[in-house]
Structure 1
Amino acid sequence: MVAVARVEVTPRVGPQTSVTNRSGSLVSAVRETDDVDLIAVSVRKADGSVVADRHGDQVAAAYGVDLASVLVAERVKAGPGEIVRVPVMAPDGLPQRFVLVGIGTGSARDLRRAAAALARKARGRRHVMTTLGDGYSTEGARAVVEGFVLGGYTPPSAGLKSRAESSPAAQLTLVGGHPAIGLDRGRAHARATVLARDLAETPANLKNPAWLAGQAADLGAAAGLDVQIWDESRLADEGFGGLLAVGSGSATPPRFVRIDYRPEGGRRRKPVVLVGKGITFDTGGISIKPRLSMVPMKTDMSGAAAVLAALLACPEVGVRRPVTGLLPLAENAFGAGSYRPGDVVTTYGGRTVEILDTDAEGRLVLADGLAYAVRNLDPDVLVDIATLTGAAGVGLGKRHAALYSTTDRLAGALTEAATGSGEQVWRMPLVEDYRPVLESSVADIRHVPGRGAQTSGGGSITAALFLREFTAGARWAHLDIAGPSRSDRDENEVTRGATGFGTRLLLRWLESLR
């Protein structure tokens, strides 16, 4: 047997860019710091004209340029994310690079996009100073931090040094009036999203279920959370049949992780329960995927990553409600022990499922997680998040998650959190007329429609209907993030690869609960 050398990848517990704030003028702040190599001033539209922020004229005077002439000559439109370099000969004490950053209307969305564009422009820089977000709201300050940290993100390197010019800026200093709570929340949300991205970007030859469970244990303990892990023996003893079936073809057995956050004063309340799909690699099993479809499948645990990252941030942002995260973790491989189409699997709690497609494995592991939650935790609210169906991405594209819920109030709260975070969702219907396609003659239910089913398409809907069967009438929502969990290009605060989608959405929603 030939030994294969492995490089180590360590997920980060903090953002790649350090973010600080100081008051006073931008020029004075720059002159008092000897490592600033990029200075940025925000510009916006006002009454049909483009104007710089309150620091603009002072900075322009220090550089000896006529800012009004530059705005005209460079045809600056101030759209969110527009970056214009001002041609200057820098005097002593000022950096050679001076740019203008368009902030559009100055909304949180536009500020987040502007900061992300600045972060990409600042790759390889030591220290960026900017007035971006000066004088705007708490939400604006949060958006600037999130946009800069996430827009400049690069994946952790697998034993290789990143090229300096592609590395995020080491330091960002925001000059002016930025509400402290906005900066703090922005740091926490960005840090959580960076962790979720790092976990999803970790190669699958390193990231098996035991490894991911170990990360949850170590990070959870450091954050003061209670973490329990089920190994394959305990899973068998307690009847986690869905999880065991999916993991049966892999050399690395499944795990189930429970993470409990119990704030002071909230311990006697029913918990909010989050369940995240954690398939560390998905070959499709015996129903094997095509080669190109398999390439991004190291990110098929993005739901579990989002849940873990959100739980870890709960103490920092002061979530008031008790929260439990459940991570069903497995590798969907194929081998002599693989589960097959035509098998009947007994899930947690005793419900039997007829298997028609081993590549529809995510709903099976979620079924065990949801059933465990309702039987053991008596949840006040139950939310699952998963890279579940290609159908959701076909219907909604790469920037919206499909949202399903049994209650309008919960759907509305999650939609509001999504809008605030910049992570977009679209509510989808739970079409009762589609439910009969999941009827089985040999088990309690099928997990996908059978051949000749009366409905064609609607795969994301039928998957949600299947999951609903395991919620026992609890207030429940399902987020199908198969589309927005991965990106093939940089766009605003989203970077190519794993996006960490759902982390900020869930965390913002948890913050809103009373």
Structure 2
Amino acid sequence: MAGPARRTVVRRDETGRRRAAAPRRAPASSSLPELPAVSVARGTVASTTLLAEPDVDALVLPVAPAAEEDDGVQPRAGVADAAVRYGIDLGDLAERAGLTGAAGEAHTVHLPRASGAAALPWAGLPARVVLVGTGSGSPRDLRRAGAAVARSTRGLRRVVTTLGAEGGAEDARAVVEGYLLGAYRHATRATGTPPEPPATELVVLGRHPESALASARIAAEASWVARTLTVTPSDTKTPAWLADQVTRLATGPGLSVEVLEGDALAERGFGGIVAVGGGSAHPPRLVTVRYEPVGAPSAGARTRPGAAGRHVVLVGKGITYDTGGISIKPRESMVAMKTDMAGAAVALAAVLGASRAGVRHRVTALLPLAENAVGASSYRPGDVVTVHGGTTVEVVNTDAEGRMVLADALSHADAELDPDIVVDVATLTGAATLGLGRQHGALYTPDDRLARSLEAAGQDTGELLWRMPLVEDYRWVLESSVADVRHVPSDPGVGGGSITAALFLQRFAGDRRWAHLDIAGPARATAAAHEVPEGATGFGARLLLRWLLQLR
């Protein structure tokens, strides 16, 4: 990893003046927990000397489901060599343990120590052998296998595995990515201190390119960033605190940060952000993170068709806590609302990952940050708010605050940033969760090619999207007699709440190539499963990073 980069941080005060524009050195550290170490070692189980090293606590071996005509599980890379080297029948152990080889299944064999002068065949070798199911061997199943390794070896020092050894770079990447994602634990304090000692170091046996491990680490780190910020309690995570975290984290090559705050927001026309944040003691912010790859066109220069790079704007909803405002939520619905800025965390993680991965496109992340609180100056149902660009919006429900701040950011992107593609990501509607559950994000776009590329990135990363329709016949429900548009339907019986929210946002993207990701369901998990932790999942960070890397 390159050392801290020099970048420019611009912060505008209540008068709109630039408070600090000189380049400065990035902080040496951030508040994020550190990912465990992963390395590649050439060799096989039969030949490697690693297994005799005293700090190697376990050997992890892959097994797969049996074919229809066979009984038991099928051994994969290294199992036969391990059986010879250890002098034990691993197939018999797997059968007695009832293993099926399903992806993510894991069984640990604890080998006994010798008593007296007798020497056992495995003397000097790791006393733990972990059998892990790889399922079909697809990237999804190998990610699950990697996550199972993380869960079953937590607290050990070093672990050696042959998972992915039979495949290519993509298999190795999936195993390592799953391992790093599964090793994540939510921090116990806002400083990011891990709840236990650093995770186990993983050593992958085989002839894998280092680039596969590096790309897996960058992708997993994006999820770690999004998860850690999203799970931080809102008594710490004010808009100001989150803006400061962005400044601390955006230290990579080509990154710069601008923070807009105070009266400057109103003066620049960001009426939606000001209205939503007006009821809180913690004032709102608009944070812009820019990534400029080497050789990219300068800001403001239109990218020519066929040129190497594009300008992509990612817009992330950043409601640091959502009470619902005057249209207050029930208590039960508020409990998870520290995660209502997951979209901003995902957009930030993607642009940071773009810098780490050397994405060849210009990427700008717009993060409108506000706390939707109940106060004397809260915006109200019945208000008419003028958002960026001069559009007037009739407010019907102050709990539909996310689309208000996104309207500002989308309009700003269209009018002033000249992007080739705009993608917004938000925990926007409960309707998306009702329709798609917690396994898929809702994807809205009128652009078929853009939809296919985002869906493909979702398939590659396991962060799945389901394309939803922008139903033209529903647009009339957003008509208003007192403003240009209502932000929620005039007739609550129409339904399609996720669709009408997308239709509202579409008008602010102008004629740009645009997509909207409603991640209200998969951004939060009620229970841990495979590489996904309970609580904040970071859904969308790896998807967007993979999409940026594949974008042509």
State the shift of 1:319 in Å.
Answer: 0.8
State the shift of 1:45 in Å.
Answer: 3.6
Aligned pairs for 1:392-403 within 5 A: 392-403=432-443
Structure 1, gaps ≥5 residues long: 1-8
1:344, 1:11 → 2: CA distance?
40
1:160, 1:468 → 2: CA distance?
37
State the shift of 1:38 in Å.
Answer: 2.0
Q: Answer yes or no: is 1:152 the counterpart of 2:172.
A: no
Aligned partner of 1:114 in structure 2 is 145
Give the TM-score normalised by structure 1: 0.94
2:495, 2:316 → 1: CA distance?
25
2:470, 2:341 → 1: CA distance?
24
State the shift of 1:368 in Å.
Answer: 0.2
Structure 2, gaps ≥5 residues long: 1-28, 114-121, 304-309
One-letter code aligned to 2:87: G
Q: Residue 96 of structure 1 is aligned with which of 89, 108, 127? A: 127
1:265, 1:21 → 2: CA distance?
33
Q: Answer yes or no: is 1:202 the counterpart of 2:232.
A: yes
SS at match of 2:278: helix
Aligned partner of 1:487 in structure 2 is 525
Asked whether the equivalents of residues 245 and 345 of structure 1 are also in contact (C-alpha less than 8 Å), the reply is yes
Q: Answer yes or no: is 1:320 the counterpart of 2:351.
A: no
Q: Residue 259 of structure 1 is aligned with which of 284, 289, 298? A: 289
Q: Residue 170 of structure 2 is aligned with which of 139, 160, 183? A: 139
One-letter code aligned to 2:234: A
Aligned partner of 2:448 in structure 1 is 408
One-letter code aligned to 1:30: L
SS at match of 2:418: coil
State the shift of 1:168 in Å.
Answer: 6.4
Q: Answer yes or no: is 1:180 the counterpart of 2:210.
A: yes
Aligned partner of 1:26 in structure 2 is 45
Asked whether the equivalents of residues 32 and 192 of structure 2 are also in contact (C-alpha less than 8 Å), the reply is no
SS at match of 1:207: coil
One-letter code aligned to 1:476: W
2:182, 2:357 → 1: CA distance?
22
Asked whether the equivalents of residues 31 and 192 of structure 2 are also in contact (C-alpha less than 8 Å), the reply is no
Aligned partner of 1:445 in structure 2 is 485
Aligned partner of 2:19 in structure 1 is none
Asked whether the equivalents of residues 30 and 94 of structure 1 are also in contact (C-alpha less than 8 Å), the reply is no
State the shift of 1:484 in Å.
Answer: 0.3
Aligned partner of 1:513 in structure 2 is 551
2:356, 2:192 → 1: CA distance?
32
Change (3 A) 1:68 1:170: closer
SS at match of 2:217: helix
Aligned partner of 1:384 in structure 2 is 424
Asked whether the equivalents of residues 136 and 178 of structure 1 are also in contact (C-alpha less than 8 Å), the reply is no
Aligned partner of 1:42 in structure 2 is 62
Q: Residue 535 of structure 2 is aligned with which of 497, 500, 509? A: 497
SS at match of 2:488: coil
State the shift of 1:145 in Å.
Answer: 1.3
More moved, 315-324 vs 260-269: 260-269
CA RMSD of aligned residues (A): 1.8
Aligned partner of 2:77 in structure 1 is 54
SS at match of 1:101: strand
Asked whether the equivalents of residues 10 and 156 of structure 1 are also in contact (C-alpha less than 8 Å), the reply is no
Give the TM-score normalised by structure 2: 0.87
Aligned pairs for 1:294-305 within 5 A: 294-305=334-345
Q: Residue 75 of structure 1 is aligned with which of 73, 77, 98? A: 98
Asked whether the equivalents of residues 128 and 169 of structure 1 are also in contact (C-alpha less than 8 Å), the reply is no
Asked whether the equivalents of residues 65 and 88 of structure 1 are also in contact (C-alpha less than 8 Å), the reply is no
Q: Answer yes or no: is 1:214 the counterpart of 2:233.
A: no
State the shift of 1:160 in Å.
Answer: 10
Change (3 A) 1:475 1:161: closer
Asked whether the equivalents of residues 125 and 168 of structure 1 are also in contact (C-alpha less than 8 Å), the reply is no
May I ask how many residue pairs the two structures share in their alignment? 501
One-letter code aligned to 1:407: D
Q: Residue 430 of structure 1 is aligned with which of 454, 466, 470? A: 470
Asked whether the equivalents of residues 30 and 93 of structure 1 are also in contact (C-alpha less than 8 Å), the reply is no
2:208, 2:412 → 1: CA distance?
44
SS at match of 2:160: strand
Q: Residue 190 of structure 1 is aligned with which of 176, 196, 220? A: 220
Q: Residue 243 of structure 1 is aligned with which of 259, 267, 273? A: 273
Aligned pairs for 1:269-280 within 5 A: 269=303, 270-280=310-320
Q: Residue 232 of structure 1 is aligned with which of 262, 266, 281? A: 262
Q: Residue 352 of structure 1 is aligned with which of 392, 397, 403? A: 392
Percent of residue pairs identical: 53
2:253, 2:286 → 1: CA distance?
19
Q: Residue 288 of structure 1 is aligned with which of 328, 348, 352? A: 328
1:76, 1:387 → 2: CA distance?
38
One-letter code aligned to 2:343: G
State the shift of 1:143 in Å.
Answer: 1.1
